[in-house]
Amino acid sequence: MSLHSIFGEEEQSLYKVKTHAKGPIGALPLTAQMLEDSPSGDLFGLTQNVGMGWEPKDLLGKQVLILGTKGGIRDYDGSPIALGYHTGHWEVDLLMIEAAKEIRERNGVPFAGFVSDPCDGRSQGTLGMFDSFPFRNDAAIVYRRLIRSLPTRRAVIGVATCDKGLPAMMIALAGMHDLPTVIVPGGVTLPPTVGEDAGKIQTIGARFANKEISLKEAAELGCVACATPGGGCQFLGTAATAQVVAEALGLAITHSALAPSGQPIWAEMARQSARAVLEMEKSKTTTKDIITDKAIENAMVVHAAFGGSTNLLLHIPAIAHAAKCKIPTVEDWVRINKKTPRLVSVLPNGPDNHPTVRVFLAGGVPEVMLHLRKLGLLHEDVLTVTGNTLGENLYWWEHSERRAQIRKRLIDADGIHPDEVIMNPIKARERGLTSTVTFPTGNIAPEGSVIKSTSIDPSRVGEDGVYRHTGVAKIFTSEKSAIKAIKTGGIVAGDIMVVMGGGPSGTGMEETYQLTSALKYLPFGKYVSLITDARFSGVSTGACIGHVGPEALGGGPIGKLRDGDVIEIIVDCYELTGSVNFVGTKDARVSIEEATKILTIREPHPDLKPHQDLPDDTRLWAALQAVSGGTWRGSVYDTDRIIEVLEAGMKAMEKEKEQV
């Protein structure tokens, strides 16, 4: 490298540097009272606004902050100049533009800020996954700081789409108790006309290694999977589930979740949301009026009815914590899932793997809520960002032209009747749809665990609705070694895979879709069970038990298992009860009571340790969330609790110094 290679032959025009400029034309609309009473920051803000090109005469409109997860740089024609991390944030700026235009037309003053987000799909199996879950807390903090750093804002619109960006945005806005806020879900991408969805396509490596597909097939299928450039993935993973939850909370307008990115109905949603937040400001409706204990419960009910991602068990409690609402417990999740039928046939749960755009066309969240209302499962009196109660929104939806036309479009476009995608409870039961999640406990998971029981392969569930698997454990202390075993024949039908050390302290509670997706799409995979203290992608299916607590590095019994141990798994998909127990070794079976005693005195696995590349940022996150109640409280930062523990630690250290 040389200076010449960097600077080259520069154009002479570069050197004609201006040293002053005339400045904007006009005068600030100041009054004597403003000059006498306003903070200097408010006044200087007006100067900066005209400096950016805003007309002085329009300065005094209501200021609305639009926050987005925009990533990448698109040219004016939409072509990429610099890529984003994922399609989910690639077109978010278009929604922000539509919202800003609407605010301007109504004499408001829009501001915009961006905090981009990572892609769990892109970081699967890489060190990038160690930053995925902790990013959510970081982003929520930055969003809140950005909101507070614009003191003159009167309302906030959050535009977000995917796995961490949207939960972070909801957590941030939930903490803005005295401001009007609205979420604009960023929408979904379309599936290819011919090809595979973005969930299945993530298994081309494992399928090729097992000679299930050719190199040519892998290359061609991988090319077409993201059929349109914007929006979250086509399946009901964490991204799509988070959009559904935003609407179910009442924080997004009716029928906004899962809109197809880039299309007119998607853009119109942003304008409608802008109108909603301005009306909220006018009527003095704020976030604390929207996110209440009842709204949180509605979101949990809708999550269950959709068969949503287990990652929302981490995000909904965090939203409740930010909103100062009651934080859901495992008992709350069990209660709600027991009484709420799953009604949606969608990727990845089935029985028919409809993409998310079909769920939108079948009526989306409000259509599901019509069925839930008849069952008496919703709090219809909660207020929403439309300015109406949920009950009033549903009455409008049921009789709306929008509902009639959008459902008809699904029939015309794909030949699919809407009632085949969103079913009534009787039809759903006839099709074999079971409730969403079960929380197995046992001597491996004394604090509990999670399995999306509705997504266990039906052929592996008995006629009584119970999944049973007793098998010999194969132990892995890293996801890398586990996926290698799958690719190289180290895993066979009947195995129980145990992946330990994937909790917050080991990897930042990594997502292990690389494993679950491979098991789903390999012929022997449905005969394999997986147990881990890590978490799963929202698109994961199968007999996969995650969130095992305590985590291995927190002294959990899962960290004491060995190759050759025998494990018994029982999951009742109807009653939503389950157990996961060590019951001895293949040479010496014992009772559960005796096995529990054995685990108690066993040493941790000799290879168990935090990943050597775990970032310090993530280590700090893991410690703070553990002090705050851990994953079952949403991995939040409980400031009072953290300060209490720090102060106690400092006092203890001072006492030790005095004794030396």
Active-site residue list: 537
- CB proximity list for 272: less than 8 A, separation 6 or greater: 253, 256
Is-contact 576 338, C-beta < 8 A?
yes
* H-helix segments, 375-528: 390-398, 401-414, 418-421, 425-430, 479-487, 504-507, 513-521
CB atoms within 10 A of CB 370: 17
Taking the C-alpha atoms of residue 259 and residue 263, their distance in angstroms, rounded to an integer, is: 8
Query: What six digits make up the tokens of 444?
Result: 């491996």
CA 304 to chain centre: 15
Q: Which burial class, exposed, middle or buried, applies to 652 when counting CB atoms under 10 A from its CB (0-12, 13-18, 19+)?
A: exposed
**Span between the terminal Cα atoms of the chain, in Å:** 57
HEC profile of 504-526: HHHHCCCECHHHHHHHHHCCCHH
Taking the C-alpha atoms of residue 584 and residue 603, their distance in angstroms, rounded to an integer, is: 15
Taking the C-alpha atoms of residue 310 and residue 393, their distance in angstroms, rounded to an integer, is: 28
Task: Name the residue among 188, 183, 201 with its Cα closest to residue 295.
Answer: 183
Q: Which burial class, exposed, middle or buried, applies to 223 when counting CB atoms under 10 A from its CB (0-12, 13-18, 19+)?
A: exposed
Strand partners, 546: 450
Element (H, E) at 582: strand 577-585
Query: What six digits make up the tokens of 450?
Result: 């999670």
Task: Name the residue among 131, 320, 170, 310 with its Cα closest to residue 236.
Answer: 310
Is-contact 157 280, C-beta < 8 A?
no
Q: What is the DSSP letter of 124?
A: T
Q: What is the DSSP string of 145-214?
A: HHHHT-TTEEEEEEEE-STTHHHHHHHHHHT-TTS-EEEEE--BPPPPSSS--TTGGGGHHHHHHTTSS-
- Three-state DSSP at 415 gives coil
